[in-house]
């Protein structure tokens, strides 16, 4: 009996020990998480410069009074397009019309005097050879004719001046463009002597987009062009794209047409200008825009897909896979966005593997199973927004 109890006890102890051994065995490690990566390679990328700017009219004409008088009418609708020569205001013309009539009368008197002097000279001419008229009398008649001709010329000039002043009573647009609000109203006294401003006309297509860039940045680009790392064919080949103040892209592409050679001594900047067609009047003078200037291309650049970039405030970073397949978070400095990729200015090297899919599920130091996938063709394209 005692021997049987001892055997049963030993059996229970063995069973319990085996059970404890099974519970204390460590679980099997999970397999490394799979992620998609992109191996960085140098490539030819657009040299993109982004600058804030403002729209300016190609031509701006201030419409000012050129004669004195009372404004009778405004002849245009504010904010509409007008053609060159279109009437904008009417100034009281009665005084100037009377001056024109006086000038015409003075011209007729002068013409009559000249006609009489010419007839005297005509009568004296044959009599001079017959010695019926002295040479002194003939010279006096000839002088009277010349004086009469001068008076006719003077009267005609005064009449032209009077007509010109009468014409100024109808104020016309000096250029094609969009006319602004009226600065004077009916009944206002305007002065040609003081050149009273009446309104403004702006040419609305094409228009200029004007930007400022630091002189140091422009010098950097020039040095890169001389070194051959940046290729720019010509100033006219530099394309400019605009983003409007509400974030929407402007549909038409402009051309860089001017770079100021003078540096502002107060700000150390130079003016850069592009010209844009504006058929739909979407761009207005004074409007704020942001420009994307493709100043040639540069070799040896690197870009990463936008989906691989993490942002914490203004700091950008990417997850990279090291040689031992462990994850590290790398802060990077980004340039412009090209298509669906960001140009990397610093923080990454050629040949490094950047996680493009799955970085949200991994942590620094974790071992992963990377699968290298090249970017789609749409992401590899060097152009685009």
Res 170: pLDDT: 96
Say what the pLDDT of residue 337 is: 82
The helix-helix angle for 135-167 and 94-129 (nearest 10°) equals 160
- Largest CA-CA distance found in the chain, in angstroms, rounded: 191
pLDDT at res. 384? 47
Mean pLDDT value of segment 226-252:
81
What is the per-residue pLDDT for 23? 52
| Segment 113-125 mean pLDDT | 90
Per-residue pLDDT for 251 more than 80?
yes
Per-residue pLDDT for 5 more than 60? Answer: no
Task: Provide the mean pLDDT of the chain.
Answer: 85
- Cross-sheet strand order for the sheet of 87-91: 170-172, 87-91, 69-74, 189-190
pLDDT at 168 over 60: yes
- Average pLDDT (334-349) is 85
- pLDDT recorded at residue 28: 63
Q: What is the pLDDT of residue 8?
A: 46
DSSP state string for 305-341: EGGG-EEETTEEEEEEE-TTSBEEEEEEEEEEEETTE
Per-residue pLDDT, averaged over 120-139, amounts to 84
From residue 225, give the alpha-carbon distance in Å to each of 61, 221, 298, 320, 325.
Answer: 39, 6, 9, 32, 40
Q: How confident is the model at residue 14 (pLDDT cuts 50, 70, 90)?
A: low
pLDDT above 90 coverage of the chain, percent: 45
Going by pLDDT thresholds of 50, 70 and 90, the confidence category of residue 375 is low
Per-residue pLDDT tens digits for 175-206: 999 999 999 999 999 999 999 999 999 998 99
Virtual torsion, Cα 92, 93, 94, 95, nearest 10 deg: 100
Identify the pLDDT of residue 320: 92
> How far apart, in whole angstroms, are the C-alpha atoms of residue 243 and residue 241?
7
Cβ neighbours around 375 below 10 Å, total = 18
For residue 104, pLDDT beyond 50: yes
Q: Which of 162, 206, 198, 159 is nearest to 179 (CA)?
A: 198
- Separation of alpha carbons 357 and 366, rounded Å: 15
User: Would you say residue 298 has pLDDT above 80?
Assistant: no
Smallest CA-to-CA distance from 355 within 332, 380, 376, 329 is with 329
Distance, in Å, from the CA atom of 271 to the CA atom of 216, rounded to the nearest integer, reads 13
Q: What is the reported pLDDT for 381?
A: 47
pLDDT of residue 169: 96
Mean pLDDT of 41-62: 88
110 pLDDT more than 90: yes
Q: Report phi then psi at 370, rounded to 5.
A: -80, 145
pLDDT > 80? residue 45: yes
> Pick the residue with more confidence: 105 or 131?
105
**Does residue 260 or residue 233 have the better pLDDT?**
260
111 SS3 class: helix
Work out the average pLDDT over 53-80: 95
């Amino acid at each position: 009996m005692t021997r049987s109890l001892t055997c049963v006890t030993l059996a229970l102890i063995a069973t319990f020990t085996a059970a404890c051994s099974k519970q204390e065995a460590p679980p099997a490690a999970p397999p490394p998480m799979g992620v998609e990566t992109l191996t960085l390679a140098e490539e030819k990328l657009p040299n993109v410069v982004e600058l804030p700017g403002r729209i300016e009219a190609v031509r701006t004409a201030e419409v000012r009074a050129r004669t004195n008088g009372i404004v009778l009418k405004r002849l245009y609708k504010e904010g509409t397009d007008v053609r060159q020569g279109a009437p904008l205001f009417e100034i009281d013309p009665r005084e100037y019309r009377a001056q024109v009539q006086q000038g015409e009368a003075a011209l007729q008197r002068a013409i009559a005097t000249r006609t009489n002097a010419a007839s005297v000279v005509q009568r004296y001419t044959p009599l001079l050879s017959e010695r019926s008229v002295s040479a002194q009398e003939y010279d006096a008649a000839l002088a009277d004719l010349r004086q009469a001709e001068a008076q006719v010329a003077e009267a005609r000039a005064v009449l032209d001046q009077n007509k010109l002043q009468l014409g100024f009573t109808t104020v016309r647009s000096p250029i094609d463009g969009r006319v602004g609000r009226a600065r004077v109203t009916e009944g206002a006294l305007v002065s040609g002597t003081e050149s009273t401003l009446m309104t403004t006309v702006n040419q609305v297509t094409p228009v200029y987009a004007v930007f400022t860039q630091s002189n140091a940045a422009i010098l950097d680009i020039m040095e890169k062009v001389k070194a051959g790392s940046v290729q720019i064919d010509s100033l006219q080949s530099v394309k400019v794209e605009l983003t409007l103040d509400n974030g929407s892209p402007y549909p038409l592409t402009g051309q860089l047409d001017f770079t100021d050679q003078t540096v502002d001594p107060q700000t150390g900047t130079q003016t850069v200008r592009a010209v844009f067609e504006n058929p739909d009047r979407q761009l207005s003078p004074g409007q704020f825009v942001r420009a994307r200037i493709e100043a040639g291309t540069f070799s040896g650049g690197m870009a990463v897909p936008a989906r691989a970039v993490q942002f914490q405030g203004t700091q950008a970073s990417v997850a990279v896979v090291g040689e031992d397949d462990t994850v590290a978070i790398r802060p990077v400095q980004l340039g412009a966005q090209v298509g669906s990729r960001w140009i990397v200015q610093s923080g990454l090297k050629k040949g490094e593997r950047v996680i493009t899919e799955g970085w949200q599920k991994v942590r620094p130091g974790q071992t992963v199973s990377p699968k290298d996938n090249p970017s789609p063709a749409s992401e590899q394209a060097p152009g685009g927004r």
